[in-house]
Amino acid sequence: MYITRVDSAYMKEHNDMELLLEYRRRFGKKAPCFNYADFPGTEKMCAGQMYIEALEKALRENKPLEIVHKYDEFLGR
């Protein structure tokens, strides 16, 4: 997947790799991958910032991210 320069730079600047490693250590599983469907961004916040803030919140609250997609229940997930 292509990630825009703005989002890539933001995530690198805010230590995304450290957050992802801490997420795996704390919860024993990989964090959900960054994608524009789940983290679309807004006029005030780039998509990368939304992703980093979601990871930080999960770690701060000690609760793994739960992303529910439109058809998850239908597909039995």
DSSP assignment of 15-27: THHHHHHHHHHHH
Whole-model pTM?
0.85
Each domain of the chain, given as residue ranges in start order, spans 5-61
Q: pLDDT tens, 9-67?
A: 999 999 999 999 999 999 999 999 999 989 999 999 999 999 999 999 999 999 999 88
Q: DSSP 3-state helix, strand, coil percentages of the chain (rounded to 5)?
A: 45, 0, 55
